[in-house]
Structure 1
Amino acid sequence: MLDVWAFAISVFTGLFAITNPIANVPVFLGLTEGAGRVEKHRINKKATFTAFMIILLFTLLGKFIFDFFGITIPAFKITGGLLIFYAGFRMLQSKKSNLKTLEQVDVDENIAISPLAIPLIAGPGTIVTTMNFVTDATYLYIGIVIAIAALICWMNYLAFNYSTFIVEKIGNNIITVIGKIMGLIIAIIGTTMVVDGLKLAF
């Protein structure tokens, strides 16, 4: 039972850090600026639901993808770890928010699919992290990953839903600090994956 809880906490920490609901708030506000409350709500629902479906797809088909392309677990862990480390490193180095303005993106419901669902919530880092957790997992552990992915997407939904309130209360500076902390956690997760991959390979 302790192993199950440890695994669940590990999955939650990894997915929360990589999707980073709080740090995504300014992006959502920038992309939906000028949209009405109903339209924002519709975009939010579509984005988070699409993101969950993408994560679910890779969680369930992860093993099939590995077998079909002949990918070994050590190779995946090493490559995935490097990618996740790079994503975390970029978050640590970034000096500006990813906030997009209306001059760059029109208020269009298509933004729910891209860039909100892909790659903001269910980006390469999220997919790699999810697949890493289910590479050699039992059905119980796969179910845990799916449940936590649903929880994380719901947290993104809440963050987007209360985006204006969040920015007013904690400010962009605190959001930036949170992003840096999440970047550090992601980089550590990436390093751990590389180490695990090297242990399995040798």
Structure 2
Amino acid sequence: MFDIFDFKEIFTAGMILFAVIDIIGSIPIIVNLRQKVGHIQSEKASIVSALLMIVFLFVGESILKLIGIDVNSFAVAGALILFFLAIEMILGIQLYKDDAPETAAIVPLAFPLIAGAGTMTTILSLKSEFETPNIIAAIVFNIVVVYFVLKSSKKIEKILGNQGISVARKIFGVILLAIAVKLFVTNIQNLF
């Protein structure tokens, strides 16, 4: 039964998704949302995020083919998005700003904070390197982590403090930058 799972692939895909989702680095955003709307619907945000990612894993490539884009082009574009996300995390700047939300479950938590463009691009890129069951396991692992972080964001904020959150965000930014470069180099070669 467990023959279909490769724990090395699950771990690698899981860490890549963890860096892209950057739920730890998003704690300041989550805290800010909680202050604006009062309550964060952790369960709803986690379930919707998981569904978005798994559905995109299966139909994302078909959608791209329908509009005439190949996976390598999408991966290169995704690598550029990941590059800019990493730059935001490392330098502490904001290149993309979203309007103030009225609710905090589907928008902006599930989409685009957890299952945003960077995550979707990464999922398609992972599909070219890893087996589908391992990617699904990595997604589920990350959604469990996301759920617990959303549920305990107050406690995590107190434990890490602003300095700890900033350090974690920069570390994951560097990891994400390295992933973006690897993704770009691998897929740009396949375009030519």
TM-score by length of 2: 0.86
Aligned partner of 1:125 among 112, 115, 118? 118
Distance 1:10 1:136, change over 3 A: closer
Identity of paired residues, percent?
Answer: 26
CA offsets per residue over residues 88-114 of structure 1, 9 Å max, x none? 112111158x9x9xxx847x5x32111
Report the AA paired with residue 160 of structure 1.
Answer: L
Q: 1:183 to 1:136 in 2, by over 3 A?
A: closer
Mapped pair 1:60 → 2:58: yes
Change over 3 Å in CA distance of 1:142–1:169 after alignment to 2: same
Other-structure match for 1:193: 183
Count of aligned positions? 187
**In structure 2, the residue corresponding to 1:33 is in which secondary structure?**
helix
Q: CA deviation at 1:165?
A: 1.1
In the alignment, is residue 14 of structure 1 matched against residue 7 of structure 2?
Answer: no
Q: Secondary structure at the match of 1:71?
A: coil
In structure 1, stretches of 5+ residues that fail to align are none
Over residues 12-50 of structure 1, what are the superposed CA-to-partner deviations in whole Å (9 max), with x where a residue is unaligned? 1110001122222222222122766xx54xx11111111
What displacement does 1:67 show? 2.7
| 2:115 partner letter | A
Report what 1:171 is aligned to: 161
Give the match for residue 30 of structure 2.
28
1:114 and 1:193 mapped to 2: Cα distance?
Answer: 28
Q: What are the Cα deviations for residues 123-154 of structure 1, in whole angstroms up to 9, with x where unaligned?
A: 111110011111475xxx11111121111111
Q: How does 1:92-131 map to 2 (within 5 A)?
A: 92-94=90-92, 105=100, 108=102, 110-131=103-124
Question: What letter corresponds to residue 151 of structure 2 in structure 1?
Answer: N
1:117, distance to aligned residue in structure 2 (A): 0.8
Q: Return the alpha-carbon distance in structure 2 between the equivalents of residues 34 and 147 of structure 1.
A: 33
| RMSD over aligned Cα atoms | 2.5
Moved runs in structure 1, 4+ residues, more than 4 A? none
Instruction: Find the counterpart in structure 1 of residue 81 from structure 2.
Output: 83
Counterpart Cα distance in 2 of 1:74 and 1:24: 29
- In 2, the alpha carbon distance for the partners of 1:136 and 1:150 equals 18
Q: How far 1:59 moved relative to its partner?
A: 0.5
- TM-score if structure 1 supplies the norm length? 0.82
Q: Is the 8 A contact 2:79 2:180 kept in 1?
A: yes
2:182 aligned partner, one-letter code: T
Q: Identify which range, 65-74 or 186-195, moves more after superposition.
A: 65-74
- Note the C-alpha offset of 1:161: 1.0
Larger radius of gyration: 1
